[in-house]
């Protein structure tokens, strides 16, 4: 299939949205935890968390353009300045996906979807107890992207909950061990399996790099 710009525009809008959304690959499915002015907790399903840098540790999430329906997650983040990112795992896929339903601000997704709130001292937003990897962030700023109105929310990493045995020697998290789940499009979930950990490519690794390239290229020829 080779689609040009005009071909893409003619597609059914739901088909087009799923095609474009999934074309960038599998992204981590996460539950964003916040709390509103009435101290009622909120959970929203996102697949847009992006690492912006490690020093300082910044992470961005993207919210759909503002509509007549208030964006509870965005409003809560701006109000309380705290929010959490909680990885979805296989045991909570259905409950997590159910959080995408538009509940009213008088209802908590934790209660409606049978997930457990966990709080940390000096941090307002709720973590998801069933999640194996949880991040606590402090709101820095947000802005609307001119081209489509999507809102980018930037936060500074304040705390991490992750089991020691999920962390590899180089500091990276092993997502096979953590059972973190990826999503492509809006509704399709994938398991993540570790293939290998490779060396950081530096000038001292040139010979090893060349050998790896040669081995992989030879395998390709045999297929």
Domains present along the chain, CATH in parentheses:
5-195 (2.30.110.10)
Contact 95, 115 (CB under 8 A): yes
pTM score, two decimals?
Answer: 0.86
In angstroms, the Cα distances linking 144 to 148, 150, 179, 207 are: 8, 6, 33, 46
3-state secondary structure of 78: helix
Contact 199, 208 (CB under 8 A): yes
Going residue by residue through the chain, which has 223 residues, state the pLDDT in tens, using 9 for 90 and above. Answer: 888 888 888 888 888 887 887 777 788 999 999 999 999 999 999 998 999 999 999 999 998 876 645 578 999 999 999 999 999 999 999 999 999 888 888 899 999 999 999 999 889 999 999 999 999 999 999 998 999 888 999 999 999 999 888 998 888 888 888 999 999 877 889 998 887 777 766 666 766 777 777 777 777 666 5
117-118 and 127-128 strand pairing: antiparallel
């Amino acid at each position: 299939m080779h689609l040009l710009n005009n071909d893409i525009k003619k597609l059914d809008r739901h088909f087009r949205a799923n095609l474009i959304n999934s074309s960038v690959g599998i992204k981590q499915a996460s539950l964003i935890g916040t709390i509103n002015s009435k101290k009622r907790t909120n959970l929203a399903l996102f697949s847009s968390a992006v690492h912006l840098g490690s020093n300082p540790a910044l992470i961005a999430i993207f919210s759909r353009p503002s509509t007549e329906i208030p964006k509870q997650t965005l409003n809560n983040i701006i109000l309380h300045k705290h929010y959490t990112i909680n990885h979805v795992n296989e045991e909570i896929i259905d409950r997590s996906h159910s959080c995408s339903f538009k509940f009213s601000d008088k209802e908590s997704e934790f209660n409606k979807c049978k997930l457990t709130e966990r709080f940390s001292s000096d941090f307002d937003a709720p973590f998801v107890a069933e999640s194996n990897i949880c991040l606590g962030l402090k709101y820095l700023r947000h802005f609307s992207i001119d081209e489509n109105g999507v809102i980018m929310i930037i936060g500074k990493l304040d705390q991490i909950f992750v089991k020691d045995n999920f962390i590899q020697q180089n500091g990276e998290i092993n997502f096979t061990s953590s059972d973190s789940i990826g999503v492509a499009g809006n509704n399709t979930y994938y398991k993540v399996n570790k293939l290998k950990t490779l060396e950081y490519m530096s000038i001292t690794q040139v010979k090893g790099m060349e050998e790896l390239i040669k081995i992989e290229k030879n395998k390709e020829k045999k297929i």
